[in-house]
Amino acid sequence: MWDYTDKVKDHFLNPRNARVIEDANAVGDVGSIICGDALRLMLKINPTTDIIEDAAFQTYGCGSAIASSSALTEMLIGKSLAEAEKITNQQIADYLGGLPAEKMHCSVMGREALDAAIANYHGKSYEHIHDEDGEIICHCFGVGANKIKKVVWENHLTTVEEVTNYTKAGGGCQSCHMRIEEIIDEVWVDLERCGVPRPGFAQTPIQGIKIATTTEKSCGCSTKGAALDAATLESPYFEKVDSVVKELNAGFTDGSSIEIQGIANNDVKLKFNGNIASGMMHDMTLNFVKSKLEALLGDQAKSLNIQA
């Protein structure tokens, strides 16, 4: 039997905002009754201020799906769209005091419904703001490769069981387990490139990239010896930015590095070198730098304009 927190039980037995908003201007539909869970999220957004003035839901699913949907509506009311877009599935679970591992897919469904509603508000379909789901990996539940990659990346999942808990993929005939393991390994290669150590694994060498064999340890320098101006060194953000850059540089194994170019007021200019300097790796590394600074600076990080 799963162990539910008191807050999960409360939101299941006394769901908030389980109703219809007749004049909703943002509606997101996700899931499938055939697969066991479906959710409609309705938002009333002020078109002048982009503030979410009301949020409600209708759902078909288990108690965790009802509780997650209820919690999400409470989290959304009063927030701006920019703030709402930053809500993660883990934050929905945390709001409830945690969810059983086997029920994390309910918080993921809530996050997807929010994406779909915001897309609808902007006159787009959910598919327009996301890549196609890609190759269907789990035919039992219709889960594609891109959804699996996304949850592995965002939640640092390491096993097929965890992927099943977050997406239901692999929970049927199990014929897709080998392919899910391959996707997990593929995503972790990119995570390691961004300096995230995979639990229980040695750092993965990147094929086609020469790994330094010198025994001299890298200093993890953030400036490559370049002199920084006084404004940068005196910035209240310099120490935190410098610590994040040094931490990531120490984790790169493919010759990539990050340099601090300068900090002026709230503008932080970085330089990416090597494999992280372009394409998907550039974007993922920049997002990872931002998330690390948010963890260190809290709300102060929201005012930073970080460029690379």
Joined tokens for residue 178: 């080998």
Q: Cα 276 to chain center, whole Å?
A: 19
Question: What own/partner pairs with CB < 8 Å and gap ≥ 24 does 256-259 have?
Answer: 256/193, 257/224, 258/222, 258/285, 258/289, 258/308, 259/222, 259/223, 259/224, 259/226
Kindly give the pairing relationship between strand 305-307 and strand 267-273: parallel
* Cβ neighbours for 176, distance < 8 A, ≥ 6 positions apart: 137, 138, 139, 140, 169, 170
Joined tokens for residue 19: 């109703």
Catalytic status, residue 35: yes
Catalytic status, residue 219: no
Which entry of 35, 62, 140, 221 is annotated as an active-site residue? 35
Q: How far is CA 303 from CA 8, 230, 237, 240, 293, in A?
A: 34, 21, 11, 14, 11
Which entry of 106, 138, 176, 194 is annotated as an active-site residue? 106
Active site residues: 35, 106
